[in-house]
Amino acid sequence: MAEEDRVLKCRDCGEEFVFTAGEQTFYKERGFQHEPTRCRRCRDEKKRHGGPGVAGGAPQVTGVSSGREFHEAVCSSCGVTTQVPFRPTPGKPVYCRDCFQSVRSPRGVST
C-alpha cells in the first residue's frame, strides 16, 4: 500500500509540517520506528546549536570518557537519543542500553 503525505505538529514550535510519502518510505527502509517530531526548521536549528541527535545521517561525536570516543545515535527500538562507544553504521540498528539488553541473546545459549 502506498504511503500518503501526513501533517504532523512540531513539538518545539507547534507549527504543522508535512511528513511526505517519500520521507515515510525512507524512514521504513532505514528501520526508524518513530516519525519525526520536529519540523525541518527546528531540526536544523537543533543541529546548528549542538543539540543531541543525528546530523545528516552521521552521528555526532559527543565526548571522550576514559579515553573512549562516544557517538550520539537514536535507538532503533525505542527512539531515545543514546551514546555508543562506536561509530554507528547507516542502515544498521543501534540500541540504547535497555533495549540492547532485551534484544541480545543470553550468553552461552545459541539461537
> What is the residue extent of each domain of the chain?
1-51, 53-111
Burial of 57 (0-12, 13-18, 19+ CB in 10 A): exposed
- Note the pLDDT tens digit of each residue in 35-54: 999 999 998 888 887 655 44
User: CA-CA distance, 53 to 96, in Å (whole number)?
Assistant: 13
Torsion-angle region of 56 (φ positive above 0: left; ψ -120 to 50: alpha; else: beta): left
User: CA-CA distance, 7 to 33, in Å (whole number)?
Assistant: 18
As a whole number, mean pLDDT of residues 86-108 equals 81
Contact predicate 86/79, CB 8 Å: no
Residue 59 has pLDDT above 90, yes or no: no
User: CA-CA distance, 2 to 53, in Å (whole number)?
Assistant: 29
Q: Which residue has the cell 540500541?
A: 95
Percent of the chain with pLDDT over 90: 24
Q: Please report the pLDDT score of residue 58 as a whole number.
A: 46
